[in-house]
Structure 1
C-alpha cells in the first residue's frame, strides 16, 4: 500500500479512479506497522527486559540497530551517488540537502530537527521507530503489563488512542499523514504502545472475533463519514490486529503461507528501496506527463522485488549476524523476529 501510495499519481492513467482513491490512503499502512512493531517487540523482548531490567537495554538497542541500520545506510550511500550524478549534470538537488545528511545517517531526521522530508522520504518512519526502540525498555519497566487484567489493557489502548487524537487535534491536523516532521515521532510511539498492550491481550486470549468486528465498524464509520481518522483508524486497526493474531482458521493459514511470509521477510527492503527506485523508474519510463504505463510499472515492481530479495539475503541478514557478534550481549542464539 505504501508503494502504491507513492506511485499513485504516475499510474493514474491506467489504475482507475477507485484504485487511486484507495491508494491515497496507503500512508495508513505505516500506522498498522507501528502497532504491529510494538506487538512483536513485546512478544520477543518484553519478558527478557522485565527479567534483566535496564541492564538488558543496551543489548536490545544493539540488536535493533543491527536489524535496521545497515540497509538504511546502504540506501543512503546509493542516494549519495545519485546526488553526485545530479550535481555533475547540473540537475536540481534541493530534495537532498547535504546539511541534513548526518541526521539521516544517525536516523534522527524525524525527531523535530527538520521541516520537510528529504533524501529517502519513507525512512522518516524508521527514524520514528528508533525513537520507540529507545523508549521501549522504559515502557516495559514502567508497568507490569503482563499482570494487568483485560479491562485495564483495553483502557490503555483507548488512552493511547485518545492521546494520539488529542495531540493531532492540538496541532490542527485531521489526518495521520499530516505534519510528519512534527508529529511522526509521537504518532509512532503511541501506536507502538498500543501494540504492546495488544500483545498482552493476545497472551490472555479468548476474545474471538469481537475485536475485529468492532474494528471493522470503527473503520466503516471513519470511511463513511470522513470524521475521526486520528482516533477511529488506530482503534480500528487495534481491533483487527488482535482478531487476526488470535485467529487459527483458514485466514490465518493464508496469511501464514510461504509467499506472504516471503513478502514479509523482504518488506523492510521493499519499504526502503521503493521510493528512490521509483524516482529512477520515472526518469527512465515516464512520459511527458510524468505517467508510467502498466508495463513499465510491472517492470518496476519486478525489479523492486528482486532487489528486495537480494538486499534481505545478501545484506540485511549477513550484516545483522556480524553486528550481533559485536554487541553488548554477544549472544549467538536465534535471530530475533524481523
Structure 2
C-alpha cells in the first residue's frame, strides 16, 4: 500500500480513479505497522525484559539496531552516490540537504530536528521506530501488562487512541499523514504502545469475531463520517489486528502461506528501497508529462519497476540484512560473541 501510495500520481494516466482513491490512503499502512511492531516486540522481548529489568535494555537496543540499521545505511550510501551524480551534472539537490545527512545516518531525522522529509522519505518511520525502541524497556517495566484484565487492556487501547487524536487535534492536524516531521514520533510511540496492549489481549485468547466486528465498525464510522481519523483508524486497526492474530481459519492459513510469508520477509527491504528506486524509474521510464508536470509511468514500466523492486528486496534481505544482522548480534560492543543466536 505504501508503494502504491507513493507511485499513484505517476499512474494516473491509466489506473482507475477508484483504485487511485484507495491508494491515497496508503499512508495509513504505516500506522498498522507501528501497532504490529509493538505487538511483535512484546511477544519477543516483553517477558525477557520483565525478567532482566533495565539491565537487559542495552542488549535489546543493540539487537534492534542490528535489525534495521545496516540496510538503512546501505540505501543511504546509494543515495549519496546519486546526489554526487546530481551535483556533477548541475541538477537540483534540494531534496537531499547535506547538513541533515548525519541525522539520517543515526536515524534521528524525525525527532524534531528537521522541518520536512528529505533523502529517503519513508525512513522517517524507521527513525520514529528507533524512538519507540528506546522507550520500550521503560514501557514494559512501567506496568504489569501481563496481569491486566481484558477490560483494562481495552480501556488502555482506547485511551492511547484518544491521546493520539487529542495531540493531532490540538495541533490542527486532521489526518495521520499530516505534519510528519512534527507528529510522526508521537504517532509511532502511541500506536506502538497500542500494539503492546494487543499482544497481551492476544495472550488472554478468546474469539476473533468480536474484535473484528469492533474494528470494522470503527473504520466504517470513519469512512462514513469523514472525521476522527486519528482516533477511529487506530481503533479500527487494533480490532482487526487482534482478530487476525486470534483467527485460525481459512484466512489465517492464507495469510500464513509461503508467498505471503516471503513478502513479509522482504517487506522491510521493499519499504526502504521503493522510494529511491521509483525516483530512478520515473527518470528512466517516464513517457510524458501531465499538466501538473508529474512524470507518468506506463503499465509496462510500472510492472517492470515492481519486478525489479521485489528482486532487489529479496537480494537485500538474503545477502545484506540477514548476514549483517547475524554479524552485529554476535559481536555486541562490550560483550563479545553473544550467547543468544540471531532470530
Which TM bucket (shorter chain)? over 0.9
Matched, 1:331 2:342: no
TM-score, normalising length: structure 2:
0.97
Unaligned runs of 5+ in 1: none
Say whether 1:68 aligns with 2:55: no
In 1: Cα distance, 2:61 partner to 2:181 partner: 23
Q: Name the SS of the counterpart of 2:296 in structure 1.
A: coil
CA contact (8 A) 2:110 2:184 kept: yes
In the alignment, what sits opposite 1:45?
Answer: 45
Q: Deviations along 1:54-103, whole A, 9 cap, x unmatched?
A: 00000000000000000000000000000000000000000000000000
- SS of match in other structure, 1:121: coil
Cα shift at 1:207:
3.4
Aligned equivalent of 2:242: 242
- Alpha-carbon contact 2:330-2:342 (below 8 Å) kept: no
Distance 1:292 1:213 in 2: 39
Higher relative contact order (CA closer than 8 Å, sequence separation 6+): 1
Structure 1 position 131 matched with structure 2 position 131: yes
Once residues 31 and 62 of structure 2 are traced to their aligned partners in structure 1, the CA distance between those partners, rounded to angstroms, is 24
Give the superposition deviation at 1:38: 0.1
CA distance in 1, matches of 2:339, 2:55: 18
2-structure distance, mates of 1:130, 1:295? 37
Quote the offset at 1:43 in angstroms. Answer: 0.1
Shift of 1:288: 2.7
Distance (Å, rounded) in 2 between the aligned partners of 1:107 and 1:132: 12
Partner residue of 1:309? 314
For normalisation by structure 1, the TM-score amounts to: 0.98
* 1:119 alignment partner, SS class: coil
Which residue number corresponds to residue 261 of structure 1? Answer: 261
Q: Structure 1 residue 153 and structure 2 residue 158: aligned?
A: no
Q: What CA distance in whole angstroms lies between the structure 2 residues aligned with 1:226 and 1:321?
A: 46
Name which of structure 1's ranges 204-213 and 27-36 shifts more when overlaid on structure 2.
204-213
Q: Which deviations, in whole Å up to 9, do the C-alpha atoms of 1:221-261 show, x marking residues without a partner?
A: 11122111010000000000000000000000000000000
Local SS of the residue matching 1:237: helix
Moved more, 315-324 or 208-217: 208-217
Q: Distance in 1 between matches of 2:104 and 2:331?
A: 23
Counterpart in the other structure of 1:93: 93
Deviations 1:299-338, CA, capped at 9 Å, x for gaps: 00000000000000000000001100111664344433xx
